[in-house]
Amino acid sequence: MISEKDFQLHKNDTGSTAFQIISLRKEIEREKLHLAKNKKDVPVKRALLKKIAKEKIFFKYLKRSNPVIYEKLKK
């Protein structure tokens, strides 16, 4: 698993694109586990889909702005 600290620009960095992608991935994994147990939880499913879409947008931006980090974060 990729650590958030590896991609922080400084100690208090929470806004860089790479950091946000890693944070979103953690949330997505947590919600996937939740949905595996609670298949009918529609609000969580909707939130999961929104986070996946947001991650896709961040990746698209990162590919243009910093291809080196993009390749490191790509699955």
Q: Are 28 and 48 in contact (CB under 8 A)?
A: yes
**pTM for this structure?**
0.84
Each residue's pLDDT tens digit in the chain (75 positions)?
666 666 767 777 778 888 899 999 999 999 999 999 999 999 999 999 999 999 999 999 999 999 998 998 886
Instruction: Give yes or no for a contact between 51 and 27, defined as CB atoms under 8 angstroms apart.
Output: yes
Assigned CATH class of 14-73 = mainly alpha
- Quickly list DSSP for 2-67: --GGGG-SSTT---SHHHHHHHHHHHHHHHHHHHHH-TT-HHHHHHHHHHHHHHHHHHHHHHHH-H
By the 8 A CB rule, do 73 and 2 touch?
yes
